[in-house]
Amino acid sequence: MISFEFTDSQLEVQRMARELAAKKIIPTISEYDRAHKYNPQLLKDMGAADLLGFCLPEKYGGMGMDYISLGLACEELEYGDTSARVVLSVHIGLYSLPVCTWANEAQKEKYLVPCAKGEKIATFGLTEPAAGSDAVGIQTTAVKKGDRYLLNGEKMWISLADVADYFLIFAWTDLDKKKARDHKGLSAFLIERGMPGLTTGTIHGKLGVRAGNTGYIAMTDVEVPAANLVGSEGEGFKIAMFCLDQGRYTVAAGSTGLIRACRDACVKYAHERETFQKPIAEHQLVKQMIAGMEAGYEYSRLLWLKAGWKKNLCEPNTRETSLAKWIACREAEAAAANAVQVHGAHGFSDEYPVERFYRNSKGASIYEGTREIHTLMQADYALGFREDKPLRTHLPIVEQE
């Protein structure tokens, strides 16, 4: 049965995230955004609000919440600022949920439980300087030497790179398959800060998400125990795509929150600002732009809710998640552009938040699969060239209220 009513536990998560955004993010975000500075207090605040592991199983230190709850939290956090939602996207979506799904029990105990409890922060490393959408174009290698692998390579555009304690890294373990661009030669590894040969740094000069930490990971003969291989050799590509399904879901929900933030800012401004002796809320073309935001918010939300519903049922949802991500990000860009327009000259400065919304909205149509990649994916589904197939494992099952 499908219900449009949220459960009490889902509403509680929404409330916690909304309260965090209102009290801890919105009052200071302009300061950090202008300074291009990451706020380390954000992680502490999210941990204190139990948001760093709430949708992970209780046996691993989480709260056992469902995936609709994860979407609601992402929507509320991005309403405050994209940088806050990014934390959940990488720590939970790209790292914790995949580790909970694909790792063995020993790995979960060491590399998942501290993350679920908010004691450690984690991220995901696939993208490289010359490889983004083309995942098999990565150059990082992992050569086995006895009971260890030597990792060499560089990851780029990694959120929380200079903050994370743990990293889920993808590398070639079969160099012959690397030459042939056969994705079955890719594998996944758990590595940790402090391993000799591992260095990280921060990228400066970003267009948007300026209050978020984004950086690079460099690996020079990093010795990683064979016990840190996630899944089996050759499963890295499947794991990476699984990670992206979770990350894209959080981006879709977050972008929906950004649309709502644009709408609310414009509604407020349209009632306050007067031209031609009346509030601009009474001008038809202003109404048209706000109506577009309202429509974009409503159908973007329905799309990510459908994807979350399928996640709760442990059903394949790559198609639904891709569509939700593509449409929500597209609508967020449109809403942010129109929000600047509604605000006129004021929207062209950081006096109002819509300038930041505009800059932040652009990144989401690039990361977690560009809009062009998702366009092609949806066309291939419609044409019958692509279909979702069950994996050998699935997201943790959540109890339904």
Which tokens sit at 278?
């009346």
Which among 65, 46, 70, 382 is positioned nearest to 245, based on CA atoms? 70
Q: Which of 192, 368, 372, 387 is catalytic?
A: 368
Backbone CA torsion sign across 128, 131, 135, 139: negative
Contact 323, 306 (CB under 8 A): no
By CB neighbour count within 10 A (0-12 exposed, 13-18 middle, 19+ buried), where does 194 fall? Answer: exposed
Q: Can 372 be counted among the known catalytic residues? A: no
Which tokens sit at 179?
């030459």
The DSSP line for 46-91 is HHHTT-SSTTS-GGGTS----HHHHHHHHHHHHHH-HHHHHHHIII
- Number of helices (H), then strands (E), belonging to the chain: the values are 14, 10
Whole-number Å distance between alpha carbons of 138 and 393? 25
Which among 136, 371, 118, 159 is positioned nearest to 236, based on CA atoms? 136
- Under DSSP, is residue 6 helix (H, G, I), strand (E, B) or coil? coil
The set of catalytic residues is: 368
